[in-house]
Amino acid sequence: MRTIGCGVGLLAVACSQGEGTPVGATLDDGQVLIGEISTHVLQLQGAFGPVAVPLRDVGMVLPVEGHTLDDSGGHVDVWLRNGSELRGRWAEPELSMGIEVGGRRVGVEVPAGRMAALQLQGHESWPSDGLYRVRTSWGDDFLVDPSKTRIEMENKLGSFEPFLTECRSVGPISDPEGDWRLELLSGTVLIGPLKTDQIAFVLPMGPERIVVPLGSLVALERGAWAESSWEPTSADRVAQPIAAAAQDVWAEAAAEAAAEAAAEAAADDRGAPRKLRARPGLSRDAGWFDISRLHSAKY
């Protein structure tokens, strides 16, 4: 498994009804726990530094590899509602949930290592036009607000800090740590190195900004995935009850795990689309976030 030098911390404690954030946790044996947690922010410690992700922007948290956090060595893929993905390590996961059972609230310590998915309520928030997409060598794939993100260049002609909205095209000539070429909408073309060895990207959803070293930047491109791009699957055509046939789902998942892991590793090496392997126990028809449409539109 590829090592990702990041960390995630999410501390959640039982809270009184109506005060917390509703979440659903699917375990490896098909159990599904639905309750509330008191935190409203997910603290993500990545190679890009510490960032705070509002839970209102989070749709789902999944293991990067395998089917549980233990399988993934604690590495998780945080899906935002607009389809952005932030990857990292959930270093010390602590998840205490208040579950309503038999007319009273029962506190449950969720075994994070056995967790296959953490879902929040709500549906997709499809991105607007005019955004930029950033991919990093850490596995992140997120959208950028071009009206607030500057590209800072300095060459023999002077110092320039255009917003991405002012650029017709932008990118390194070859090596991201070398010279860049900026073509502005005005027709001006600038060539030279960036002022620093990193770019501070401002996000339209999730953490306020993420700072990416140039050496970790894989792609910076105009455009985003669109709702019109996703292709319906059988799950979209047929309403699925909550946790329906959960045991069959996990048995099938276990049988496919080895082949899928090998295929995904090969896809990562080639930069090819990742195969969707998430099998959460809560359905979009019941109001829970599901990544399948966003995943289809992206890949």
Quick one: average pLDDT of 203-229?
Answer: 91
- Residue among 195, 202, 164 nearest 51 (CA): 202
pLDDT given for residue 163 in this prediction: 98
pLDDT given for residue 97 in this prediction: 86
Spell out the domain ranges in the chain.
Answer: 7-125+238-298, 132-222
Q: Looking at the DSSP assignment, which residues form a beta bridge with residue 44? A: 8, 51
- Which of the four pLDDT bands, split at 50, 70 and 90, describes residue 16? very low
Please tell me whether the overall predicted TM-score, pTM, comes out greater than 0.85 for this model. Answer: no
pLDDT given for residue 274 in this prediction: 57
Neighbours of 108 (CB within 10 A): 16
Neighbours of 29 (CB within 10 A): 10
Of the two residues 139 and 237, the one the predictor is more confident about is: 139
Quick one: average pLDDT of 12-17?
Answer: 40
Quick one: average pLDDT of 253-268?
Answer: 49
pLDDT given for residue 267 in this prediction: 52
Pull the structure tokens for residue 132.
Answer: 């930029």
Residue 5 has pLDDT above 80, yes or no: no
pLDDT given for residue 91 in this prediction: 57
CA-to-CA distance for 58 and 116, rounded, in angstroms? 16
Residues belonging to the chain: 299
Residue 6 has pLDDT above 80, yes or no: no
CA-to-CA distance for 287 and 123, rounded, in angstroms? 7
Quick one: average pLDDT of 137-164?
Answer: 96
Sign of the C-alpha dihedral computed for residues 39, 12, 117 and 71 taken in this order: positive
pLDDT tens figures, 49-71: 777 888 899 999 999 888 898 99
Q: Are 218 and 135 in contact (CB under 8 A)?
A: yes
Specify whether the backbone of 48 is left (phi greater than 0), alpha (psi in -120 to 50) or beta.
Answer: alpha
